[in-house]
Amino acid sequence: MQPIKILADKVVDTSDLKLGELKEKLSSLITLTRAGDMQISVMSFGFKHGIPTDCDIVMDVRFLPNPYYVPALKNKTGLDKAVQDYIMSFKDAKFADLIKYLIPKYIKEGKSYLTIAMGCTGGKHRSVFMAHKLAEYLNKLGLSASEFHRDIEL
């Protein structure tokens, strides 16, 4: 290992470090400096298909009225304007503001990836719309957010 150690910019002796201490030490060496450095994945899902296991934050949007029960909207998705207009006609929570508040705190903890999952019953209408809008909002803030709709085709 000596030839590799000679090439290193920084060396960390892990002999006496506990896991938490190691995380702190490494985080201090490679700290993200801007929120834009964090990769954010926003996904939609349907609770009836199971909660994703690889996410950091789960938001249940089943409090919103379900477009599935509106005959003209049943076979559409949250990416269709008619469904978006229907959902927007109801007052909703300020989830995007909470995420905006939390991102700097996750960065301070050394997180470089964040996965936010938004769920409704089937994963086609409300969660798709809310995930799409959240990713759009985060990108407008200059963050790097991608979106994925796990159950939209089921």
In 8-94, alpha helices (H): 19-29, 81-88
Give pLDDT, residue 89: 86
pTM: 0.73
Instruction: Name every residue whose Cβ is closer than 8 Å to that of residue 2 and which is 6 or more positions away in sequence.
Output: none
In the DSSP assignment, the letter for residue 70 is: S
C-alpha to C-alpha distance for 83 and 49, rounded to whole angstroms: 21
Tens digit of pLDDT for each residue in 43-100?
Answer: 999 999 999 988 999 999 999 999 999 999 999 999 999 999 998 887 765 788 889 8
Task: Tell me the C-alpha distance between 16 and 35, whole Å.
Answer: 32
- Give domain limits for the chain: 33-149
Tokens of 143: 């963050």
Residues near 16 by beta carbon (within 8 Å), at least 6 away in sequence: none
Q: What is the mean pLDDT of residues 21-30?
A: 66
More confident residue, 21 or 124: 124
Angle between the N-to-C axes of helices 126-140 and 95-108, in degrees from 0 to 180, rounded to the nearest 10: 60
Q: How confident is the model at residue 34 (pLDDT cuts 50, 70, 90)?
A: low
Whole-number Å distance between alpha carbons of 88 and 15:
55
Beta strand 113-120 with 57-60 is: parallel
pLDDT in tens, 104-149: 888 888 788 999 999 999 999 999 999 999 999 999 999 899 999 9
Q: What is the structure's pLDDT at 120? A: 96
Closest CA to 99 of 72, 48, 124, 134: 134
